[in-house]
Amino acid sequence: MNQIRRILGIVWAILGPLAIYLMFNQAVSKVVAANSKIAAAVDEAAKVTAEAAKLNIQMQWGIIILIFVPIAFGLMIFGYYSFRGEYDRT
């Protein structure tokens, strides 16, 4: 069981940066898509709506990144400890 914990430690340690990458990737792609909508707006009203949507997307992803990045670091540390056998039982 200790061996499984140690191996899984690698998984948790990788999951942390992976989560950060996915979050940034999603955030960037959503903002880019929102910019495209603003550029494609046919009139002023549509442009205002698209800009408001972009603001919402930025806000949402800003919140998510702000709070989950430190947690993802925590998961990396957890994985590292696990890999080093800190959670082994005798």
Partner 1 sequence: MTQEIDKPSTIWKVIGASSVGTLIEWYDFYIFGSLATILSKQFFPEDQGTAALLSTLAIFAAGFIVRPFGALVFGRLGDLLGRKFTFLLTLVLMGGSTFAIGLVPGYKTIGIAAPLIILALRLVQGLALGGEYGGAATYVAEHSPVKRRGFFTSWIQTTATLGLFLSLGVILFTRNTLGVDDFNSWGWRVPFWVSILLVVVSIYIRLKMQESPLFSKIKKEGKISKNPLKESFGHKTNLKMVLLALFGAVMGQGVVWYTGQFYAQSFIENTCKVDFEQSRTILLWAIVAGTPFFILFGSLSDKYGRKWIMMAGMLLGILSYRPIYQSFLNDTSAAGHSALLQADKTVLKSQLISFDTKDAKKAYLVSKVDSVYSDGSVFKYTLTDTLYFTEAASEKRAEAAVLAYQSASDSAAPIAYAAVKAAAGTTGKDTISVVTSHASVKAAVGVEKSMGSSIFWKMVLLVFVQIVYVTMVYGPIAAFLVELFPTRIRYTSMSLPYHIGNGVFGGLVPFLSTLIIEYTKTPENPAGSPLAGLWYPIGIAAVCLVIGILYLSNKIDEDVSDDENEFVHA
Task: Determine contact, residues 73/17, Cβ cutoff 8 Å.
Answer: no
If we measure between CA atoms, which residue out of 39, 33, 25, 31 comes closest to residue 58? 31
Q: How far is the CB of 39 from partner 1 (least distance, A)?
A: 19
Least distance in angstroms from the C-beta of 5 to partner 1: 6
Residues with Cβ < 8 Å from 30, sequence gap 6 or more? 57, 61
Which of 20, 31, 60, 83 lies at the binding interface for partner 1 (CB under 8 A)?
Answer: 60
**Interface positions with partner 1 (CB under 8 A):** 1, 4-5, 8, 12, 15, 52, 55-56, 59-60, 63-64, 66-68, 71, 74-75, 77-78, 81-82, 86-89
